[in-house]
Structure 1
Amino acid sequence: MDSVPLDVLCDVLVLLPVHAVLALRRTCRSLYAVTHLRTLWVLLFRTHVLDHCLPYPDVGPLADLSAHDLESLTRRALALRRTWSSPHPVPRRNITFNAPTEPTARVIFLQFLPGRSNRWLISVCMTARPRSYLLQCWDVAPEQPTCVAELRHADGPYGGVVLNSDPTSSAVLTLQSAQYNRTLSIHFHADDPECAFVTQATIDGIRELHLLCGSTLVTRRMDDGALSLWDLTDLRQEKLQLLNPSLIQPDDRVQAIHIAHDYALVVRIQSIEIYSTLPRPSLLAPRGIPIAYPLTQFKFQWRTDTVVLCPQHAPASSLPPPILLLVRFGSIYPWPVNVLHHYCLLPNSTYPTGGRGRTPTPPSSPCAHAPLSPTHTPVTTEYNLPYDPRPYPTHTIGSPIRLFGQAATGLGRYGTALWLDNHTEAWLEPSERGQRLAGRVVRAGGPDGFDRGVGVGTGTGARTSTSEMTTGRGPAATSSDPGAPMLFGVRDDDAWTRIAMEEEAGRIALGHVDGAITLLEY
């Protein structure tokens, strides 16, 4: 073994599974030394984790990790994916915390902060009498989660919270109330949790909150339905308005938004729209605010009830990442359709050049500040779109909901779909109560070759398209799966209200009707 060159030996070992490399470590001194080399574990981590787009915890720059750290990170990522995608994942940690003193409290918002060491959980608990809202930030890394920041909100109706998708920004979230929208930062290590939330900016008036991405805030006006893009560094007026004159209320209600580079993708009740976010002066714009109209739009055959949108984590490329959609359609009955549809928006393979001989550099974070930057070279036009606006169906998932039943959905960047429904008959006795927490790992589908980094052309000149939404239509046929490949838990009552997921750390959080939070760590 000593006569084999080191580079040849590493080339051979990197082809083996990690458990085989660890087994060879115990055979002789030479292999014991080689399997502790940092060079080998860099190759193994790249081959088995990065190349397969597996989630792994945020441990800082990989260049600063030792051989032991890289080995631990590789083994942790592989073990997490093996447990996470098993039919019945068993958590290694199951803890319930935050027992409120008010008996009428319930969790109405629950979400992990993106990035930031994968340890912060944001929750909003509502108390009915008297009506008040408690915004809290939890550190879930310790054995017993602790509250590091809290803010009680009681001045008028509560309108929601949006978290910043850019972990490098100092602005952490924006809170909507009856009088104003308030953007907050968090001092995570403050001595007093009641002083940890710090106001950075406010916008007067009632506006729906939809997205906070870096310094870009997206709101919707209640009167005309126009989407407004704000720059948190200059709040004198909106920087841009996104308006679709062909829609009337309530079809203009926004379900999900994605912003990157110089474009915005908006999912409404029955349509998907793509806009250019570069301000273009218009003589018809009120108060001199530029207005952008859809470059193209796609119309669903049916109205959507809930939509979750998430750009998929993918290897570095000049193409935009594929976008995953988890959709539950509405119905003519008081409850939505008992099926979840998983779709994928595929990138346009001709988008990087756009006829300009230029390849844009992908941003370092999920969203860039480019949408409001006047120095960004425009590439998005009606004839050069970042995505094919037609969503390709990849899976259908049975997910029944009873009348007035509690349902929730979640979607992760690494392909995990998570949902809460009322299908419990396969595990419990038939009852009018009961909940199931289930999921599956889904990946972007589409034409052959897509997973190798080849996008699809969007064509030119087509502004509107429609879908028949039938099984097997289009390049990617829909696969029907009536069961749930991953069952995380069932219960015989309706105590769960909200779900949150952190793929990189392998955590799931569940909000309860009594204000408690359950943390499952895998």
Structure 2
Amino acid sequence: MLLLITLQGPLIHRHFQAILKDFNQLNVPLARFPRQIFWNMATLIDLPTDIAHLLFCRLGIPDVLNMRQTCKNMHSISQSRVVWQFLLTSLAKQQRPIPRLFDRSFDSLSPAELEHLTRKAWNLRQNWMTKSPVVKKTLIIQLEPLPNQGGLPPTFEFMEKTGKRHILTLMMKGPMPEGFLYDLQCWDLDVSPPRCIAQREVGSRYLTVNKSLDSLASLVVQSPSIEFLGIDYSAEDPVSGFYTVSKLQNITQRPVALNDSFLVTQNDQSQLYLVQLQKNNDDHIELRSIFEVMIQNEVVIVIRRRILEIFSVGDINTSQMLIYPIAQHVFQWDIDSVSISPQTTWPQCLEHRYPTINLLVRFGSLLPWPVNLLHHFVLLPNPGFDGELHPSSNNLPYSDTPIVKRTISSPVRLFSKYHMALGSRGTAIFIDSHTEDYFHRGDVGQRLAGSYARDVSSVENDVEDSTEVESTMDSSVFGYRENDDWTRVAIDEEEGRIALGFLDGTIEIREYA
């Protein structure tokens, strides 16, 4: 705005002053103003193209779109590749999710694609941060629950493969001689209604998705032995959509974490086993109850009832049968539930081999406040870690103490259904019991709420700052209902999607981008 004033000099007309006063709201072509005003713009219009590009790159996205309406020259500049690649790069550096980007590089995109992705990412962020985000599209998957058996509600998880987003669902189908039979399905979310592209009956409700996008095995199931499955996305018949990549016949524990090198399994006594897939040997981690397990490069992060432990798996001796943690942290209270997710970071901004880890924790206690609060912890990379050496107690890839980034009010009633999920950028989505604002009573109903996180990498620079406390009213409300039919929630933050599971087998996918 100041640059425009400088360019106009003393010739600024009172009409043009009105435009400058409210520049962000500019939506009227300058040609509608008197000819004198139009010629006052000549110095801006006649600028060299490269200078005009630099000026446009300094504008916000709404301002670029407003300037597009002024004249043909501005319209042409506002469609240039330089402008939109710069703006999209700026969003990426701010760690904003970019829907539909997948694994494509910016250089491979056309100017029109760059503009489309930039506007979609900006609109998603604006919608996501409002008090009541607006659903742009709703998809319904109807699974058939097991009749008259009190079967478990469906479980589901988002996954990304081959440049598309899918959702895996698992639903109890019927009894069998040893337990129950489950229906495993993979759904394509790019069509409406969602289309089942792969289907298989399995003998267990335990599965784990491989987070490595280029891996042949997309997931692992226990059915009853450990079976690694791939997905044929071009299969004409869903029955042939899943195919077996490999099996581990001698392992019967349920899978809890998987990457290309290691598989972590758990037995009925909560004992963890680490399987090196190349060597097919297993070591075990000491016995205690397990809440969450995640493999990150050469470490395994384990969340127990009150302890976070980090195990090194980069240099395991084949004769070593028991693995001990290289670092651990004891929480103040026992954990009721937890969600863990690595922070997705634009590759050019990734300073460490190990990304920041987000943890969303609901504590359990006889005291009333721990269970009614969600704590967002971040486990930061250790800047002193030597990547040339394997992780050890003297060479930790992560700080051994999680930092509380924020505390979110999320009250739950006794015996009520509640659940939570953590997005790839740190956004917390949760089902709780805060319904008195909508039904004037707090003993019925459920609320779906969320809290958008600012860039968690900035926590590393302001560790000494006080904890950011967010009240119930600070959370975005995605919906509420007067019964307790919601059973589970999942989030695909990159695409702006939330999935809700219902008692009757319905899965509702809400799109906000």
The TM-score with structure 2 as length reference comes to 0.82
What's the counterpart of residue 255 of structure 2? 209
**1:87/1:265 Cα in 2 relative to 1: closer, same or farther (>3 Å)?**
same
Question: Deviation at 1:198?
Answer: 0.9
SS of residue matched to 1:313: coil
Q: Which of 343, 355, 371 is 1:321 aligned to?
A: 355
Query: What is the alpha-carbon distance in structure 2 between the residues aligned to residue 109 and residue 90 of structure 1?
Result: 25
Render the CA deviation track for 1:80-123: whole Å, top value 9, x for unaligned. 11111211011011233325275456533111103543421111
What's the counterpart of residue 440 of structure 1? 451
Q: Aligned partner of 2:119: which letter?
A: R
**1:421/1:442 Cα in 2 relative to 1: closer, same or farther (>3 Å)?**
same
Contact preservation (8 Å) 2:165, 2:189: yes
User: Unaligned regions of 5+ residues in structure 1, if any?
Assistant: 355-359, 361-376, 457-473
Contact preservation (8 Å) 1:336, 1:401: no
Contact preservation (8 Å) 1:397, 1:483: no
1:330-409 equivalences under 5 Å are 330-332=364-366, 337-351=371-385, 354=386, 360=387, 377-409=388-420
**1:496/1:116 Cα in 2 relative to 1: closer, same or farther (>3 Å)?**
farther
Q: Which of 336, 339, 347 is 1:308 aligned to?
A: 339
What's the counterpart of residue 4 of structure 1? 47
CA RMSD in angstroms, aligned pairs only: 2.7
Question: Deviation at 1:53?
Answer: 1.0
What's the counterpart of residue 70 of structure 2? 27
Say whether residues 1:411 and 2:447 are aligned partners: no
Query: What is the alpha-carbon distance in structure 2 between the residues aligned to residue 114 and residue 255 of structure 1?
Result: 24
- Specify which structure has the bigger relative contact order, considering alpha-carbon pairs within 8 angstroms and separated by 6 or more residues: 1
1:277-316 equivalences under 5 Å are 277-281=313-317, 285-286=320-321, 291-315=322-346, 316=349
1:129-168 equivalences under 5 Å are 131-153=180-202, 155=203, 158-168=204-214
Query: What is the alpha-carbon distance in structure 2 between the residues aligned to residue 264 and residue 443 of structure 1?
Result: 26
What's the counterpart of residue 300 of structure 2? 264
Query: What is the alpha-carbon distance in structure 1 between the residues aligned to residue 158 and residue 111 of structure 2?
Result: 30
Query: What is the alpha-carbon distance in structure 1 between the residues aligned to residue 307 and residue 175 of structure 2?
Result: 39
- Aligned length, in residue pairs: 458
Say whether residues 1:90 and 2:126 are aligned partners: no
Query: What is the alpha-carbon distance in structure 2 between the residues aligned to residue 454 and residue 430 of structure 1?
Result: 43
SS of residue matched to 1:114: strand
Query: What is the alpha-carbon distance in structure 2 between the residues aligned to residue 202 and residue 299 of structure 1?
Result: 37
1:219-234 equivalences under 5 Å are 219-222=265-268, 225-231=271-277, 233-234=278-279
What's the counterpart of residue 372 of structure 1? none
Q: Compare 266-275 and 423-432 and name the one that shifted more.
A: 423-432
Query: What is the alpha-carbon distance in structure 2 between the residues aligned to residue 476 and residue 333 of structure 1?
Result: 23
User: Unaligned regions of 5+ residues in structure 2, if any?
Assistant: 1-43
SS of residue matched to 1:493: coil
What's the counterpart of residue 53 of structure 1? 95
Contact preservation (8 Å) 1:106, 1:127: no
What's the counterpart of residue 176 of structure 1? 222
**1:128/1:302 Cα in 2 relative to 1: closer, same or farther (>3 Å)?**
farther
Contact preservation (8 Å) 1:135, 1:151: yes
Say whether residues 1:420 and 2:431 are aligned partners: yes
Contact preservation (8 Å) 1:417, 1:439: yes
Question: Deviation at 1:6?
Answer: 2.5
Question: Deviation at 1:206?
Answer: 2.8
**1:102/1:268 Cα in 2 relative to 1: closer, same or farther (>3 Å)?**
closer
Contact preservation (8 Å) 2:145, 2:172: no
SS of residue matched to 2:87: helix
SS of residue matched to 1:426: helix
Say whether residues 1:108 and 2:162 are aligned partners: no
Contact preservation (8 Å) 2:140, 2:194: no
Q: Aligned partner of 2:493: which letter?
A: E
Q: Aligned partner of 1:42: which letter?
A: Q
SS of residue matched to 1:71: helix
Query: What is the alpha-carbon distance in structure 1 between the residues aligned to residue 244 and residue 416 of structure 2?
Result: 37
Question: Deviation at 1:476?
Answer: 4.3
Render the CA deviation track for 1:449-490: whole Å, top value 9, x for unaligned. x6297598xxxxxxxxxxxxxxxxx65425252335211111
Q: Aligned partner of 1:34: which letter?
A: I
The TM-score with structure 1 as length reference comes to 0.81
Task: Pick the structure with more helix per residue.
Answer: 2
Q: Compare 179-188 and 272-281 and name the one that shifted more.
A: 272-281
Say whether residues 1:488 and 2:486 are aligned partners: no
Render the CA deviation track for 1:400-451: whole Å, top value 9, x for unaligned. 2233322111101112100112221211242644111111112465xxxx62
